[in-house]
Amino acid sequence: MWHPCDIPATSMWHPCDIPATSVSVPTAAPTPSPRRARPVSQNPVPGVERGPLSSGGWGQLCPPVLSGDCPQGSQAEAEAMEKELLEDYRFGRQQLIEIWGHACAVAVTKAFPLRSLRRRQPTLLVACGPAQNGAVGLVCARHLRSFDYEPTIFYPKRSPDPLHRDFTTQCEKMDIPFLSYLPTEVQLINDAYNAVVDAVLGAEGTQGTEGTEPCAAILATLRHVRIPIVSLDVPSGWLPGPVGGSGDISPDVLVSLAAPKEVARRFRGRRHFLAGRFVPEELRRKFGLSPPEYPGSDCVVAL
């Protein structure tokens, strides 16, 4: 049986070397601290707060698959919130990526507990892109390793960002293997792993995958895998709008970072988690966020 470690590290294959159409498709089927009172919403829709940035943002109604007040927002609003976290609240970029990566790993453990895995070995494939979502994936893989999972990373286009290089080194020092290429025969992936963590594009890919090689080739493969996919923040390749494309990947699990994004309305998978407990209360009020209560000391909450 094929195993990711069987791939020679010296192989020079790169996803860009093949077109996306060359993918083979198998024929077989503690008491919580009190919170300050929120201001009363002026929104005419009872129980839903509207954010101050736009009428189409995080203040809108949630889709039926979600429960409680969990408004979604546009990518511009997500960027505005991250900017305030970095500049006004003095979070560091490394700190945010570390918080998100840890929370994503926790969400994976909740969606796929070790004892529930179909394979004897707790193997996971973590596919990382070159931007921030990929860095979150690297941190997620490191924490999964410390949680006794066996992640393997596919990171074909490594970022020159020193912070990303540090995250890569940390994974290497923890003996997490890196694939030199991604098998285009999807059955090999189905047989080797329990699930795939999609950290390819995330919210950075909401303008499409054109010109984003090797990400487009990765997504062409992920469209056909039969094992569960866990997408971080935004399923890679999903474009804004009420209707998705016929070629979209179909994740079983979605982990929204800080707040659900607009495209989360279309998510119809098995589990949706929110990783936003760290967001300061004042910032939640400013952006009209009313997430469910986080259980105990958990850093994620199921929506």
pLDDT along the chain (303 residues), means of 10: 48 39 40 43 31 32 35 68 92 95 98 94 96 96 98 94 96 96 92 97 61 78 95 90 69 94 88 94 89 92 93
Give the whole-angstrom CA distance, residue 145 versus residue 169: 14
What is the secondary structure of 111-151 as a DSSP string? HS-GGG-SSSS-EEEEEE-SSHHHHHHHHHHHHHHHTT-EE
How far apart, in Å, are the Cα atoms of 294 and each of 22, 41, 152, 264?
A: 44, 22, 30, 19
User: Which amino acid does the sequence have at 192?
Assistant: A
Give the tokens for residue 281.
């209360």
3-state secondary structure of 108: helix
Helix axes 132-146, 162-173, angle to 10 degrees: 20
Q: Which helix (H) or strand (E) holds 230?
A: strand 229-232
Query: Nearest Cα to 253, choosing from 230, 224, 232?
Result: 230
3-state secondary structure of 198: strand
Question: What pTM, to 2 d.p., does this model score?
Answer: 0.75
How far apart, in Å, are the Cα atoms of 53 and each of 60, 153, 155, 201, 288?
A: 12, 37, 36, 25, 9
Give the whole-angstrom CA distance, residue 104 versus residue 126: 12
| Residue 9, pLDDT score | 43
| Residue 6, pLDDT score | 52
3-state helix, strand, coil in the chain (%, to 5): 35, 10, 55
Give the whole-angstrom CA distance, residue 231 versus residue 266: 13
Give the whole-angstrom CA distance, residue 290 versus residue 124: 33
Helix axes 93-111, 132-146, angle to 10 degrees: 50
Peptide bond into 71 cis (omega under 30): no
Count CA atoms closer than 13 A to 17's CA, side-chain side.
10
| Residue 76, pLDDT score | 76
| Residue 75, pLDDT score | 67
